[in-house]
Chains A and B, each alone.
Chain A
Amino acid sequence: MIISLNWLKKYADIGVPTDELVELIGSRLVEVEEVIDLAPRYKDCVIVKVEQCDKVEGSDHLSLCQVNAGSGDLVQVVCGANNVYAGMLAVWLPPKSVVPETYGTGDEFVLESRKLMGQVSNGMLASMRELGLGDDHDGIVEIDPESAKPGDSFAEKFALNDTLLDIENKSLTHRPDCFGNVGFAREVAGILGSKFNEPPYFAELSKFSHDDQEKIEIEIADAELCPRYQAVIMELPESYPRYLTPIAVDVARVGMRAIDPVVDSANLLMLLTGQPLHTFDYDKFVKVGGLGAAKVIVRAAKEGEKLELLDGKTIELDSKDIVITSNDVPVALAGAMGGANTAIDKSTKRILVESATFNLYSMRGTQFRHGIFSEAITRFTKGQPPALTNFVICKFAEMTSKIFGLKAVSKVFDAYPVEIVNQPIQLTVDDVNKLLGSGFDIKQVRATLENVGFAVHGEFKVTAPWWRTDIHIEEDVIEEVGRLTGFDNILAKLPMRSFEMPTPDDLGDMKAKIRRVLSDMSANEVLTYSFVGERLLKKVGQDPANSYKIINSTSPELQYVRQQLAPSLLEKVYKNTKAGYSGIALFEMNQVFVKNEGMNGENVPIQHDNLALAVQGDFYLAKLFLNNLTDKFGIKLDYRNTELGTTETFYEPKHSAGVFVDDLQVGIVGGVAAGVKNNFKLAVDTSAFEIELGLLLGKVKVGAGYKNQSGFQGVERDMTFKVAVDMAFAKLETTVKKTLQADGLQSEIAPLDIYQGDDSATKNITFRIKFASYDKTLNGQEIAGIVNKVASAARKELNAEII
C-alpha cells in the first residue's frame, strides 16, 4: 500500500525530517518497505501554451505546433493528437527528458529532437499514458488556463513533488483504518504526539443538495454478511470539463490509474478513508429488477447462480459469496466486482452509488475463489467499520456535485440493522506495566490513548474510537500503549528462572552425533525435499496411493509426501555422478510419512524420523557404514533375510536384509535392484540403508562394548572352518565367540577370508582369533585346549570341520 507524504503532512503536523519519520513509523506502526521520491520522474515536465498549430503537409494526423514554455520563445513540436489546437495549455516533455511512463522501469525512453515527416520535433506533448497517470492515449492532456500559465512546472501545479512510502500490508491486516491515508496520518500524529488535522467530512456529514425524485428500498438478508448498506442516486452532467483535474492526478500519484471523474472520485475517497464505493448504472439497475424502482437486496449467493462480471467473465457463484441484487437478480459480486448488466457506459445518465461494509471472512473467500485482488476487496478483507460508510458517501455526493456537476436525485438511503459500537474495556495501569515490564502512571497512559482518539475514564475504563475495529481485549489496549510510546523504551532484562533441568533432546543429540560420525567416515550430509513426484515414486516401485498427496503443489515433482528418504538420495547420487564425482556416499536425516500406517494418538499421521545413506558400492559396503555407525552407540546389529516391505521395493531381494537389534527390526539395508538402477541411470552398483532413529534410540547402550584388558600375554591363532555352503557366516562367528567367552577369556575374533573352492557344497571361513586369560599367561597345553574347544563346538553345533 502506498502512503503519500504530501497527504501525511496535510493531515498531521509532521515536523520531523523524512528519514526520522520513516524510522518512527517503522518502530511504532509498520515497516516501510521503500521510500520513493516522485519528484525526479516529473522534474522536466513543463506546462506550455500552443501558440500555433498547423497541419503537417503530407500527413493526415500530424500537427506542427509552436509552443511557448513561458519565455515567449517558440519551440517547434510535432503532435499526433487530434485534440491539439492553438491557444490550449498542454504538458511538454522537452528533449533529453525521460518519458514519465518509462521512468524507473530500466527501459527508459529519453526524448530527443528528431524529424517527423520532414519536420523537427523537439520532444513531445504528453497524453495521460505518457505521463504515467492513466491509460488514455487518445489525446494530449489539456490544462485549465485558470489554474496555470506557460512555464509552470507540471509537478508543482499538480502536487507531484511527493514522496511515497511503500507500506508492508501484512502487518496492518488488523488495522482497516490505516488502509486509508487519513487514518494512517491519524496514527502518525498519535505517534508523534502532534496535531491531527481531521478532514471536515469526518467531523460532520458533508452537505449536498438533492431532490427526492428517486427512492431506493434496501433489504439486508443477513446482517452478519453485510452490517451496513447505503446508496444514493446521482444524475450525471451532459459533459465533464475537458481539463486535467487534480483528482485524476491524486489517484494516479498513489498508484491507481485515472479513468473518469466518477471512478476517480470514488477511488480518491477510498485511498483517503479506506472505504471503497461502487457505482451502478441506475437505469439498468432498475430495469434488471423489473419493479420500476430500485430494490437492493444483499444476500448470500445461491449455489450454481451465475453472474457476468464487468470484465466480461461469467462466474459461477458459491453459497459463501455475497451478492448485490436488484430485486433478487444478481448485479454485483459484493466487494469484488460489478456485473455486466449494470455497468456504466457512455449512455449512462444516472448512477447508483453504494457505500457498504461486508463480512471480511466472506470477502476473503470470494477473493480466493474468484481470483480478484483489487484495491477495494483488499480493504474489505480488513473489515471496515460500518460507521465509515456514511461519511464517505456524503462526501462523494458533495464532491462530485461541486467539481463535476453531478446532481443527487435522492437522499442517502441507509440499511443498518444492528448498530455496532465498541464496548468499554476495564483494566488497570498495573495490568499494563505487568505485561510490558514498564513503569507508566495513569497520566501517561491516558495521554497516550486519548491522543489517538480513545475515551479514557477513571483508572481506568477505555473505549476505542469508531474507526478502530481491532480493540477487543485488555491486551489490545496494552499493545497500543506500548507501541505508541515505543516498545524500544522498555528496559530489556532477563527473567528470573526457577532452577529446573531441561529435558534432554535425546533424538536431537543422537542426530548430532550421527552427523559427526558419518561425515568422519567420508559421507556427505544432504537435505532433499520432503515432497516427491509420481515419477520418482514409480522409479522405486512405491505406490503413490500410499503417499499423502499435496493438492496445491506448484510442481509435479512436489506432489507426494515421501515414504522413504533413500529414493531421494539415489536421485542425488545420479546428479553428482553426472557432475563428475565418484565414490559417493550421501546421507540424510528427516521425517517420512506412510499413508496406510494411519494416525497416531493425536490423530495426525504417524511420523518416522529416519536416517538413510546411499553409497556407490555393494551391499557389504552399506552394511559396513551402518555397523561402524551403530558401534559408536554400543548397538550390535543383526542382519536377516526378510521379505521387503511395500516401501522397500527398490532393493534387490537377494541382496538385502532386515536390520535387527535384539529382535526388533529397525530398518533395511540392500543393494539397489538392477531394474531400479537402470531407472536412475546409475552406472555403478549402488546400495543404501534406511533406519528408523526412534527405534534405534531405545537400543542405545551407554558404555557397551567396553572390555577390561588382560595384563597377561595373549595368543593369536588363525582357524579355518569348512562349513556347508549355505551356512550363515554369523552363526559360525557367534559359536566361536560364545565358546571363548564361556571360558572367561578376553577374546577378539576377526574374519580373514571366505573361500569357496571347486567343491560347490562347502566353503571355508577363516578367522583370526586372539585370546588371553585374565589370571595368567596361558601355556601350550591350555592354548591347545581352548582351540580344541572352539573346534569341537563348531563341529557339534554346525557340523563344521577344522582344516
Chain B
Amino acid sequence: MDLEKTKSELLKRARELDAPREVLKAPELRELYKLIPTLTDEKRAEFGQKINALKVELEAVVAAREAEALSAAVEPIDVTAPWGVNVEPADRPQIVATGRGSRHPLMTELERVVDIYQKMGFDAVESRQLDDDYHMFESLNFPAGHPARDSFDTFRTEEGFIPPAHTSTMQNRILVAGRDKLAAGGQIAAVSYGRCFRNEDLDATHEHTFYQCEGVFVSAEVTLGQMLGVLQKFFEAYYSQKLNIKTQPAYFPFVEPGLEFLIEKPKSLGGSGWMEVMGCGMIHPNVLSAAGIDPTKYRGFAWGGGIDRLVMLKYGIDDIRYFESGKLAFLKEFK
C-alpha cells in the first residue's frame, strides 16, 4: 500500500466530501494502521509517525471544513442596525445596570496613586510594555554585562526587546523631554506608571506580571532631604495620616546614593513596625548625562515602588495570583 498515494487520496476526500468527518473512518486509514505490526522494528517507528501525522493533518482539514460549513450557514446581518430582523422587543440587546460591574482593584489603586502625584504637580505617563535594552538598562547606568542586571530577571524576545522589569524604562524619555524646561529655569517633575514583568515562577507571593509607579524630580538645587520630604508627603496623603519614615542603604545602579524607603505601618493596616515601600535615590550623574542633562548643573531624585503589594495589604488579599486570574468571584468583590 502506497502511503503517499493514500494520503493524497484521503486529503482530497476530506476536502470534497459533504460530511468530511467520514474520512476519519475511511477503511484505508484502518488498513494503514494494520500494516504497522508487520514492519521491522526500525521501519515501524517511522511509519507509525507518518500515519499519525496524516491523521492530524486530516483532522485539521476536517475541522476547517466544518468551521466553513458552520460559517456558510450563517445569515449576513445589517451591522448598521440596532438589532436583527424580526427580533421581538424582549430579545433585543439591552444593558441592565444591575451594579454587578466592577473595576480592577489594581487599576483603581494605580489611579489613586497617580492622582496624588498629579495633585503634587507631577506629569504622568504610562510605561511601555515592550522596550529596548537602551531604555531598560543602558541609559540607566547598567552597561552590558553589569551584574546588577541579573537581579532583574528580565524576559527577552527573539529580536532582543525586553518587556520592562521596571517603569524606570521611561526615565530617559522623561528626562530628554524635560531638558528644555530645565534650560528655561524650570524643573522636571513626572511619574511613569504601568505594567512590568519579571521572569519569576508563580506562587502566592510572586507574579511575573505586576504594576509599578515611579517618579523623577530634577532641578538645579534638589537635595536628598527633599526627596525624603516628597515621599513622606505622598504616603501621608495616601494613608491620610502623619507617618514617620526611615531608610536603608540599597544599591541600584541608576541612583547614587541609593536607599530603600520605609514608612511606619499606618493605622489602617494595624499600625506597628515598619514597611518597606519603595526604592529611591539621587539620580546617578551618568543617567543625567545619558539624557543630555549636565550633571554638574542639575541634580535629581528618583523613586519607584510596586502597586500590587499596596493593594494586597489594603484588602488583606492573600494570593497575588488572583489579580490576573480573571475570576469574577474575586473581581466582583471590588464594586
Say yes or no for A730: interface residue by CB 8 A criterion.
yes
Docked pose: A674 CA to B259 CA in angstroms: 56
- Report whether B257 and A502 are in contact in the complex, using a CB–CB cutoff of 8 Å: no
Partner of B257, one of A475, A523, A526, A654: A475
- Report whether B81 and A754 are in contact in the complex, using a CB–CB cutoff of 8 Å: yes
| CB contact under 8 A between A505 and B248, given known A522-B98, A524-B328, A607-B128 | no
Partner of B74, one of A170, A436, A516, A674: A674
- Report whether A575 and B326 are in contact in the complex, using a CB–CB cutoff of 8 Å: yes
- Report whether A603 and B132 are in contact in the complex, using a CB–CB cutoff of 8 Å: yes
- Report whether B256 and A479 are in contact in the complex, using a CB–CB cutoff of 8 Å: yes
Contacts of A515 in B (CB 8 A): 103-104, 107-108, 111
| CB contact under 8 A between A525 and B71, given known A173-B251, A505-B123, A729-B81 | no
| B217: min CB distance to chain A, Å | 7
- Report whether A756 and B85 are in contact in the complex, using a CB–CB cutoff of 8 Å: yes
Of B16-24, B36-44, B219-227, the one contacting chain A is B219-227
Closest A-chain residue to B132, C-beta based? A604
Of A119-127, A281-289, A549-557, the one contacting chain B is A549-557
Binary per-residue interface labels of chain B (126-165) against chain A in the complex, 1 for a CB within 8 Å, 0 otherwise: 1011111001000000000111101100011111010100
Contacts of A200 in B (CB 8 A): none
Contacts of B185 in A (CB 8 A): 498
Closest A-chain residue to B335, C-beta based? A519
Say yes or no for A713: interface residue by CB 8 A criterion.
no
| CB contact under 8 A between A522 and B257, given known A475-B282, A502-B122 | no
Say yes or no for B292: interface residue by CB 8 A criterion.
no
Contacts of B79 in A (CB 8 A): 619, 623, 639-641, 655-657
Say yes or no for A17: interface residue by CB 8 A criterion.
no
| A3: min CB distance to chain B, Å | 15
Say yes or no for A487: interface residue by CB 8 A criterion.
yes
Closest B-chain residue to A669, C-beta based? B79
Say yes or no for A497: interface residue by CB 8 A criterion.
yes
- Report whether B123 and A436 are in contact in the complex, using a CB–CB cutoff of 8 Å: no
| A546: min CB distance to chain B, Å | 13
Say yes or no for A174: interface residue by CB 8 A criterion.
yes
| A566: min CB distance to chain B, Å | 13
Contacts of A638 in B (CB 8 A): 80
- Report whether A579 and B329 are in contact in the complex, using a CB–CB cutoff of 8 Å: yes
Say yes or no for A210: interface residue by CB 8 A criterion.
no
A329-386 interface with B by 8 A CB criterion: 360-361, 364-365, 368, 381-382
- Report whether B114 and A604 are in contact in the complex, using a CB–CB cutoff of 8 Å: no
Closest B-chain residue to A586, C-beta based? B326
Partner of A591, one of B93, B129, B299: B129
Most A Cβ at <10 Å: residue of B85, B106, B157, B250: B157
- Report whether A516 and B103 are in contact in the complex, using a CB–CB cutoff of 8 Å: yes
B198-221 interface with A by 8 A CB criterion: 199, 201, 208-209, 217, 219, 221
- Report whether B87 and A488 are in contact in the complex, using a CB–CB cutoff of 8 Å: no
Say yes or no for B118: interface residue by CB 8 A criterion.
yes
Say yes or no for A87: interface residue by CB 8 A criterion.
no
- Report whether A171 and B71 are in contact in the complex, using a CB–CB cutoff of 8 Å: no
- Report whether B225 and A673 are in contact in the complex, using a CB–CB cutoff of 8 Å: no
| CB contact under 8 A between A530 and B129, given known A364-B147, A553-B155, A755-B85 | yes
Binary per-residue interface labels of chain B (50-90) against chain A in the complex, 1 for a CB within 8 Å, 0 otherwise: 00000000000001101100110011111111111111000
Contacts of A491 in B (CB 8 A): 225
Of B3-11, B26-34, B228-236, the one contacting chain A is B228-236
Contacts of A530 in B (CB 8 A): 129, 163, 195, 197, 209
Docked pose: A657 CA to B76 CA in angstroms: 11
Partner of A525, one of B99, B102, B156, B250: B102
Partner of B187, one of A171, A500, A754: A500
Closest A-chain residue to B226, C-beta based? A495
Closest B-chain residue to A488, C-beta based? B246
| A785: min CB distance to chain B, Å | 28
- Report whether B107 and A436 are in contact in the complex, using a CB–CB cutoff of 8 Å: no
- Report whether B326 and A572 are in contact in the complex, using a CB–CB cutoff of 8 Å: yes
Contacts of A729 in B (CB 8 A): 78, 80-82
Partner of B130, one of A434, A508, A604, A678: A604
Say yes or no for B332: interface residue by CB 8 A criterion.
yes
Closest B-chain residue to A381, C-beta based? B147
- Report whether A437 and B83 are in contact in the complex, using a CB–CB cutoff of 8 Å: no
- Report whether B156 and A508 are in contact in the complex, using a CB–CB cutoff of 8 Å: no
- Report whether B259 and A487 are in contact in the complex, using a CB–CB cutoff of 8 Å: yes
- Report whether B324 and A529 are in contact in the complex, using a CB–CB cutoff of 8 Å: yes
- Report whether A505 and B74 are in contact in the complex, using a CB–CB cutoff of 8 Å: no
Closest B-chain residue to A657, C-beta based? B79
Say yes or no for B285: interface residue by CB 8 A criterion.
yes
Partner of A521, one of B95, B230, B285: B95
- Report whether A652 and B78 are in contact in the complex, using a CB–CB cutoff of 8 Å: no
| B249: min CB distance to chain A, Å | 5
Contacts of A528 in B (CB 8 A): 324, 326
- Report whether A502 and B118 are in contact in the complex, using a CB–CB cutoff of 8 Å: yes
Closest A-chain residue to B67, C-beta based? A675
- Report whether A497 and B189 are in contact in the complex, using a CB–CB cutoff of 8 Å: yes
Binary per-residue interface labels of chain A (744-776) against chain B in the complex, 1 for a CB within 8 Å, 0 otherwise: 000000010011100000010000000000000
Say yes or no for A291: interface residue by CB 8 A criterion.
no
Docked pose: A551 CA to B233 CA in angstroms: 42
| A254: min CB distance to chain B, Å | 23
- Report whether B250 and A171 are in contact in the complex, using a CB–CB cutoff of 8 Å: yes
| A586: min CB distance to chain B, Å | 7
- Report whether B147 and A31 are in contact in the complex, using a CB–CB cutoff of 8 Å: no
Docked pose: A219 CA to B258 CA in angstroms: 40
- Report whether B147 and A493 are in contact in the complex, using a CB–CB cutoff of 8 Å: no
- Report whether B86 and A487 are in contact in the complex, using a CB–CB cutoff of 8 Å: no
Contacts of B299 in A (CB 8 A): 434-435
- Report whether A593 and B324 are in contact in the complex, using a CB–CB cutoff of 8 Å: no
Contacts of B284 in A (CB 8 A): 475
Contacts of A30 in B (CB 8 A): 248-249
Contacts of B189 in A (CB 8 A): 497, 500, 502
| CB contact under 8 A between A591 and B128, given known A171-B251, A581-B328, A657-B79 | yes
Partner of A576, one of B148, B163, B259, B327: B327
Q: Which 6 A-B residue pairs are closest in the complex by CB-CB distance?
A: A437-B225, A675-B67, A437-B223, A730-B80, A572-B326, A674-B70
Q: Which residues of A contact B (CB under 8 A)?
A: 26-31, 170-175, 360-361, 364-365, 368, 381-382, 434-438, 473, 475-476, 478-479, 482-483, 487-488, 490-498, 500, 502-503, 505, 507-508, 511-512, 515-516, 518-531, 548-554, 558, 561, 568-569, 571-572, 575-576, 579, 581, 584-586, 589-591, 593, 603-605, 607, 609, 617-621, 623-625, 628, 638-641, 652-657, 673-676, 678, 728-731, 733, 751, 754-756, 763
Q: Which residues of B contact A (CB under 8 A)?
A: 63-64, 66-67, 70-71, 74-87, 92-104, 106-108, 111, 114, 118, 121-126, 128-132, 135, 145-148, 150-151, 155-159, 161, 163, 181, 185-187, 189, 195, 197, 199, 201, 208-209, 217, 219, 221-226, 228-230, 232-233, 245-251, 256-260, 282, 284-285, 299, 323-324, 326-329, 331-332
With contacts A171-B251, A492-B226, A530-B163 known, what are 9 further pairs, Cβ within 8 A?
A: A31-B260, A173-B148, A382-B147, A490-B224, A492-B229, A502-B121, A524-B332, A554-B201, A673-B71
